[in-house]
Amino acid sequence: MVQKIHPDAPSALAGLLFDGMTIAAGGFGLCGIPETLIQALVDSGTTGITAVSNNAGVDDFGLGKLLRTRQIAKMVSSYVGENKEFERQYLAGELEIEFCPQGTLAERMRAGGAGIPGFYTRTGVGTLIAEGKETKVFDGETFVLERGIVADLAIVKAWKGDPYGNLVFRKSARNFNPMAATCGRVTVAEVEELVGPGELEPDQIHTPGVFVQRLILATHNEKRIEQRTIRKEAQ
């Protein structure tokens, strides 16, 4: 059997990294982000990265770590509002950004992973997002052509994984992870819990192992909360 489980993140990323590469990452805000693999990318020193990710982390966490070390040259994201260092680099012209509506970004990753080079969507028609893109009228309504995304590497975070690379996500930490997993030429997953063969219920697997080439047990599971909102007990 091919050994997908690697002892640590550097070993799981060995031979996959090069300057100027495109990396797709799962996560929404700081929820469900591959913390361990992001730290390993920081340590690798890989530069000129195009990062495909819904958000850009915060200053000292998530993809913000790679921004702080100037390893990211371009972000493809829907919303980057929580990161001051991002703002500084962007305004200084040091960082390129391609804004992509959130649903379009999810679908671009899904399409890329499913072998679909482009698709038409209503989202963004008549806005700056559609400028310079081909449009087509279906049943009297205008749609814009968006491209599928295939990344050199995808990094994802899952709750549980088995030696075959089957993954189960937990609650809203699923978000972009399943699509990211499909759109990588190589996909590396970090999991909070490694389980044995047969321990995952086949009907409950979110990402089948065919999409996951390498797997590690996550060592960074801080799961920082961006907006801790609490209700009073009595309510």
Partner 1 sequence: MPWTRDEMAALAAAELQDGFYVNLGIGIPTLVANHIAPGIDVTLQSENGMLGLGPFPTEAEVDADIINAGKQTITELDRTSYVSSADSFGMIRGGHIQLSVLGAMEVAENGDLANWMVPGKMVKGPGGAMDLVAGVRRIIVLMDHVDKQGTAKFRRNCTLPLTGANVVDMIITNLAIFERPDRQSAFLLRGLAPGVTAQEVRDLTEAEYEEALA
Q: How far is the CB of 78 from partner 1 (least distance, A)?
A: 5
Tell me the window of 1-9, 17-25, 42-50, 225-233 that interacts with partner 1 (CB under 8 A): 225-233
Question: How many binding residues for partner 1 (CB under 8 A)?
Answer: 60
Of the pair 6, 79, the CB lying nearest partner 1 is at 79
- Taking residue 230's Cβ as centre, other Cβ atoms within 10 Å add up to 5
Residue at 72: amino acid letter = I
Tell me the window of 17-25, 35-43, 61-69, 123-131 that interacts with partner 1 (CB under 8 A): 123-131
Q: What is the rounded CA–CA span in Å between residue 159 and residue 147?
A: 30
Q: What is the rounded CA–CA span in Å between residue 83 and residue 13?
A: 26
Of the pair 1, 203, the CB lying nearest partner 1 is at 203
Contact flag: residue 81 with partner 1 (CB under 8 A): yes
Q: How far is the CB of 3 from partner 1 (least distance, A)?
A: 28
Q: How far is the CB of 71 from partner 1 (least distance, A)?
A: 21
Indicate which single residue of 1, 91, 92, 137 sits in contact with partner 1 (rule: CB under 8 A): 91
> DSSP letters along 154-188, please?
EEEEEEEE-TT--EE--GGG-TTHHHHHHHEEEEE
- Which two tokens mark 59? 């200053």
> DSSP letters along 196-224, please?
-TT-S-GGG-SB-GGG-SEEEE-S-----
Indicate which single residue of 121, 186, 193, 217 sits in contact with partner 1 (rule: CB under 8 A): 121
- Contact in structure between 173 and 54 (CB atoms under 8 Å): no
User: Residue 185: which of 55, 27, 22, 34 has the closest Cα?
Assistant: 22
Name every residue whose Cβ is closer than 8 Å to that of residue 178 and which is 6 or more positions away in sequence: 26, 156, 169, 206, 207
Contact flag: residue 31 with partner 1 (CB under 8 A): yes
Q: Which residue has the tokens 């893109």?
A: 133
- Which two tokens mark 178? 């399943």
Binding mask 161-180 for partner 1 (x = CB under 8 A): --------xxxxxxxxxxx-
Binding mask 55-74 for partner 1 (x = CB under 8 A): --------------------
Indicate which single residue of 110, 158, 189, 191 sits in contact with partner 1 (rule: CB under 8 A): 110
Q: What is the rounded CA–CA span in Å between residue 84 and residue 98?
A: 18
Contact flag: residue 125 with partner 1 (CB under 8 A): yes
Contact flag: residue 92 with partner 1 (CB under 8 A): no
User: Binding residues for partner 1, per CB under 8 A?
Assistant: 28-32, 54, 77-82, 87, 90-91, 97, 99, 101-107, 109-110, 121-129, 159, 169-179, 206, 223-233, 235
